[in-house]
Amino acid sequence: MRTKLFSAALLLAALSVVMAGCELLGTKDLSADDAKMELRAAGDDINYNLGVMMAHPPMVALTMLSELTGLEIELKSDAPPAPRRSLLEKLTVQPQKLPMPGLKQVTRILQSPQAGSEKGLQQTETGIYIYNFNTGLFDRTSPSVSYIEYRFPADDVAYNARERNCILRIENLEIAGVYDPVYDEYEEIPVRFDAWMTIDGDEVMDMTYRVTLNNNDLPTSVAVQMNMDPYSLNLNYSGSSRNYSLVTSFKNGGTTLLATDLDIRYDASQEEVEKLDGSVKADPLEFKGSINTLAMEDCMDIDCMNDNIDVDVMQTELNKRIGTLEFRMYMDPYWEEEYAELAIVYKDGSYEFLFEVFEDMGL
């Protein structure tokens, strides 16, 4: 019996070596020059995909709505730059917010503009809001309906022709007041709604949104589905106790443009992320591995920080490794401060800071 078990163990060991060898053969490192070239090419691909998506009629209509309701986001500022925070720090400041992207933006969209005023209504005030071309505001009608509906021009052509050819309706809306310990204030967020959009009478988008909160106002589940042919979005966050998963897929037809597959482990208090494990993909780039975020907080040097991060940067179409994520010391030229910042380290040991790469890529 022992001989058979020993033989089986040897066979499993041999198979594991063979499989590991096959994996190494399939995943090769790009040279530093090729890796930098592939990174910039990936940035071009990502920006192209983003540009095509933003030119899609439903996205044009949503952009128009944001402009008409005064929700434009100011991207440039003359103010001096704030001290930088590493990507890791940004991810771990409010870990419970990780699986709930865009909640504040959604809340602002639901704050309907009041007729004759630039102030917003409470999200629970239902009605039909019709864009007034003369005042540049939305007139509220039919306050007794159980939904919020916007009627407005879908694009510049419709705006110039003074046509309200787009309808966005938000139904089954439920709002929850949650406490934000960082800002020591309560805020209202949507935890449930269904929405659809039509342009020139044709339905071009539908969406469902569900969030379940526990007694501490932390999400225990999030489910988002959106169809905007040819685009589709599926987001699911679920788990229990300290272990949760976040799986997201944003596709253009059969092509996955953005995806996450993350296991999130919280500490015993469920207030901080202890570990992140999995992958984040923005076609054709993928970041996959693990980060021991909580252990990293106790690190006193950069070597300790690097001992708690193991992330590869992959070019998925080539199935080749561009480099690895590691921390390097960065000297902030404006604030004249030095601190650890994430960098992409190439095969020859050279590196580029991640935020500078993203800036070069236009992201």
CA angle (343, 345, 350) in 5-degree steps? 110
Tell me whether residue 288 is in a domain: yes
Least confident range of 25-34, 65-74, 123-132, 168-177? 65-74
- What's the pTM? 0.76
In a domain, 98, yes or no: yes
Q: Which tens digit of pLDDT belongs to each residue from 306-354?
A: 999 999 999 999 999 999 999 999 988 888 888 899 999 999 999 999 9
- When pLDDT is cut at 50, 70 and 90, the band that residue 9 belongs to is very low
Mean per-residue pLDDT over the chain, rounded: 80
74 within a domain of the structure (yes/no): no
> What's the whole-number mean pLDDT along residues 274-302?
93
pLDDT above 70 coverage of the chain, percent: 77
Read off the pLDDT band of 110 (50, 70, 90): low
- Digit-coded pLDDT (tens) for 193-233: 999 999 999 999 999 999 998 887 778 899 999 999 999 99
**Assigned domain for 81 exists:** no
- What is the bridge-based pairing of β-strands 148-152 and 202-213? unpaired
The secondary structure of 45-105 as a DSSP string is HHHHHHHHHHTSHHHHHHHHHHHHTT-PPP---SSPPPPP--HHHHHHSSGGGTT-TTHHH
pLDDT digits (tens, 9 = 90+) for 122-136: 445 889 999 999 999
pLDDT: which is higher, 98 or 288: 288
Domain residues for the domain of 255 are 29-66+86-360
E strands of the chain, at which residues?
A: 28-29, 127-132, 137-141, 148-152, 166-180, 185-199, 202-213, 219-228, 231-240, 243-252, 255-266, 273-282, 285-291, 309-315, 320-332, 337-345, 351-353
Using the predicted structure, report yes or no on whether residue 159 has a pLDDT greater than 80: yes
Examine residue 4 and state whether it is found in any structural domain, yes or no: no
Residue 196 domain flag: yes
Provide mean pLDDT across the span 10-36.
58
Q: How far is CA 286 from CA 26, 182, 257, 263, 304, in A?
A: 16, 31, 11, 16, 24
Given the DSSP bridges, would you call strands 219-228 and 351-353 parallel, antiparallel or unpaired? unpaired
**How many whole angstroms separate alpha carbon 235 and alpha carbon 219?**
14
CB 167 within 8 A of CB 198: yes
Instruction: Give the model's pLDDT for residue 271.
Output: 76
Q: How far apart are CA 349 and CA 353, in angstroms?
A: 13
Domain assignment present for 91: yes
249 falls within a domain: yes
Contact 290, 310 (CB under 8 A): yes
Number of structural domains, the chain? 1
8 Å CB contact between 81 and 355: no
Q: Token pair 């039909």 is at which residue?
A: 128
Neighbouring CB atoms inside 10 A of 250's CB total 20
The answer to whether 46 and 361 have CB atoms below 8 angstroms apart is: yes
Q: Is the pLDDT of residue 358 over 90?
A: no
pLDDT in tens, 56-93: 999 999 999 999 987 543 333 343 444 444 444 444 33
Model confidence at 187, pLDDT cuts 50, 70, 90, reads confident
CB atoms within 10 A of CB 221: 16
